Amino acid sequence: MSKNILVLCTGNSCRSQIAHGYLKEFSPKGTTIYSAGIETHGVNPKAIATMQKDGVDISENTSNNVDEFANVDFDYIITVCDNAKERCPYFPSNAVLFHKNFPDPAKATGNEEEVNAEFDRVRDMVKLYCKEFVSAYLK
């Protein structure tokens, strides 16, 4: 049975894009993954680069506004930051809501090596969460 999953973040540029990539990678065939933001900031090039380092290509992903998916019947909605959880619009569906607040790697400071390390650290946190989510709810 196919499932529709929405990953929701503030700007749909980093955390939700990373989660989108891993959920797509780990989910059974027939699962459709969507990611969106309360706003759209474009896909962060560092998010694309950190995923490529782990063999997952999200370079074709787009940054979407949550309103674009108002007519999709979601099975699961995962908010990946507190701001999105607080501002998550009501979806008239039976979607099960999940929330995990991940740090925003786009706010990382320091030199390029330190910023890249923060992207890698958040990527690994999101990867583990997605792996556990798929194992618990989609197998």
Structural domain boundaries in the chain: 4-137
Give pLDDT, residue 10: 86
> What local confidence, expressed as pLDDT, does residue 39 receive?
87
Q: Which residues are catalytic?
A: 9, 81, 88
What number of helices (H) and strands (E) belong to the chain?
4, 4
* pLDDT at residue number 102: 96
At residue 1, the pLDDT reads 66
Q: What's this model's pTM, rounded to 2 decimal places?
A: 0.94
Q: Which residues of the chain have pLDDT under 50?
A: none
Q: Which residues are CB-neighbours of 68 under 8 A, at least 6 positions away?
A: 36
What is the model's pLDDT at position 92?
A: 63
Given this model, what pLDDT does residue 133 score? 98
CA 83 to CA 129: how far, in whole Å?
19
CATH architecture of 4-137: 3-Layer(aba) Sandwich (3.40)
